[in-house]
Amino acid sequence: MNYKEALDYIYSFTDYERGGKYTRDRNENIQREAELLRLLGNPHEQYSSTLIAGTKGKGSTAAYIERILREANLRTGLYTQPDLHTFRERSQVNGQLISEAEVGELIADIRPAVEQIQASGRFGPFITYEIGTALALLYFYRQHVQHAVLEVGLGGRLDATNVTHPLVSVITSISYDHMNILGDTLAKIATEKAGIIKENGIIVTSAQAPEALLAIATIAKQRNARMVRIGPFDHDPAQAEVESGQLPAVRYHYQPEAQNAGGQHFSISTPDHHYAHLETPLIGLHQLENATVALATLEELRKKGIAWDEAALRRGMVHVHWPARIQIVGRNPTLIVDGAHNNDSLEKLLATLRSTFSPRRLILVLGVNKDKDLFHMIKSLATIDSVVLTQANNPRATSTAELEKLFAEYASAVHVYSSQDSGQALDQAVKLAERDDLVCATGSLYLAGEALRWAAAHGDTTAASEIEGVDH
């Protein structure tokens, strides 16, 4: 089977990333995935893993952990989604994308097992994500991976990745997203994500809202799991719950030292050590939070026999790369691409852009998916100067007409322009900007991918070097 045939097969199933509706019982997800992996020989049981859920920061945290373990000379697997340019980005070994030939070979081996399960009539139909998850887990086994870092696709409790048996489970920051599926409160959302906690396991979390933390703690207690919290050095929003004995205290603290457009210096205090003058190229306080989650996870992994040292930690922090996270792709004016796609991440993005770059004017190229909290996202943009509205080439994209209405009602002081084509929208934003302004393309990872391809075509060598093919 060649690569195109393999992709056609993968996308022949319902794909929620491209607009498929959740119309069936999600409880079948794990049962169906477990049966598929059983027929494939349970490849995921042949190597250790870390499983990461959360609303924001999953990918960056996974990237930190994978890079540090790679610097410690472990053979690593990394499974993330969605991709920016090509399906191959989702499955990586030692930082290298799976090849087109390997995708074809794996799907040729997986397909008979899928057809056997479907013919049995025991479960509902597979979805694209489940096929991709099985592909990654089988690929890592065949590539002799020692430790795989796995990102949950949606929620956690019923996600296909939850068939695995991670040494450590991780929940990054929690905010409002996918509320039609996960629930309309932080407690409900956190409960779904806490479904990845294993019996007698370990859960590392950077969740800050007390109601989310209490939900995680409830599941951890039910499963006799140990909860490890991380947070900033100067405050704990859940201090009252700590003092009342409902939550454990924060044990890992991060503190910024310096930040500029090239990255950050920071320190992390752990129960046993103080790591001073760490460096990362990833920008924003939220990336220090993600780095600290990664370190806490790594310390727990070391107790389980996954060896690394401080030199590997420092090299991994310095060399980590995660595209479309405040990624600079142009100068004069500064042009940035970021995958922020809910209100919380958008607010953090704006704060970071203003504090780090101090632009004279902030101009956004904005494209958002229909299933997001558009009302609050648009309201949070009321203080920017201008926006060029667009829509990514994805069925879930909100129309520019709908976005125009929302800006007129909730952010009327913003100068609004529109172009349905994202490339033309970027061209227009750059023409509007002067040297001291900042242009940022954001609102969804799908738009971020298109913006990076636009930047590559306009001479950004870093963006160009990261694009190893385009499937969509």
Q: List the domain boundaries for the chain.
A: 3-319, 327-466
Residue 419's nearest CA partner among 400, 404, 437, 438 is 400
Q: Within 40-144, where are the H helices?
A: 58-71, 100-120, 128-142
Sign, Cα dihedral of 448, 453, 454, 459: positive
User: How far apart are the C-alpha atoms of 150 and 49, rounded to whole Å?
Assistant: 7
In this structure, which topology does domain 327-466 adopt according to CATH?
Protein-Tyrosine Phosphatase; Chain A (3.90.190)
Contacts of residue 110, defined as CB under 8 A and 6 or more positions apart, other chains included, come to 36, 40, 131, 134, 135, 138
CA 152 to chain centroid, in Å, comes to 9
CB 81 within 8 A of CB 136: no
CATH number of 3-319: 3.40.1190.10
User: How far apart are the C-alpha atoms of 90 and 88, rounded to whole Å?
Assistant: 5
CA 183 to chain centroid, in Å, comes to 19
Residue 216's nearest CA partner among 173, 161, 275 is 173
Distances (CA, A) of 336 to 55, 196, 283, 310, 455: 22, 34, 12, 32, 10
Contacts of residue 289, defined as CB under 8 A and 6 or more positions apart, other chains included, come to 57, 172, 173, 206, 230, 231, 232, 254
DSSP letter assigned to residue 85: S
Round to the nearest angstrom and report the end-to-end CA distance of the chain: 20
User: How far apart are the C-alpha atoms of 185 and 152, rounded to whole Å?
Assistant: 20
- Interior CA angle at 77 toward 37 and 166, to 5°? 60
Question: Helices 28-39 and 100-120 sit at what angle, rounded to 10 degrees?
Answer: 110
CB 68 within 8 A of CB 147: no
Which tokens hold the place of 271? 């129960």
Q: Within 283-366, where are the H helices?
A: 285-303, 310-319, 343-357
Checking DSSP bridges between strand 202-205 and strand 250-260, what pairing results, if any? unpaired
pLDDT of residue 28: 63
pLDDT of residue 24: 45
Give pLDDT tens digits along the chain (472 positions).
999 999 999 999 988 776 555 544 555 678 999 999 999 999 999 999 999 999 999 999 999 999 999 999 999 999 999 999 999 999 999 999 999 999 999 999 999 999 999 999 999 899 999 999 999 999 999 999 999 999 999 889 999 999 999 999 999 999 877 666 777 799 999 999 999 999 999 999 998 899 999 999 999 999 999 999 999 988 899 999 999 999 999 999 999 999 999 999 999 999 999 999 999 999 999 999 999 999 999 999 999 999 999 999 999 999 999 999 999 999 999 999 999 988 989 999 999 999 999 999 999 999 999 887 899 999 999 999 999 999 999 888 999 999 999 999 999 999 999 999 999 999 999 999 999 999 999 999 999 999 999 999 999 999 999 999 999 7
User: How far apart are the C-alpha atoms of 469 and 472, rounded to whole Å?
Assistant: 9
Checking DSSP bridges between strand 438-442 and strand 362-366, what pairing results, if any? parallel
Which tokens hold the place of 392? 């990514």
State the CB neighbour count (10 A cutoff) for residue 254. 24
CB 131 within 8 A of CB 10: yes
Give the SS3 label for residue 335: strand
Phi, psi of 7 (to 5 degrees): -65, -40
User: How far apart are the C-alpha atoms of 161 and 53, rounded to whole Å?
Assistant: 10
CB 109 within 8 A of CB 9: no
User: How far apart are the C-alpha atoms of 402 and 400, rounded to whole Å?
Assistant: 5
Specify which residues 334 forms β-bridges with. 438
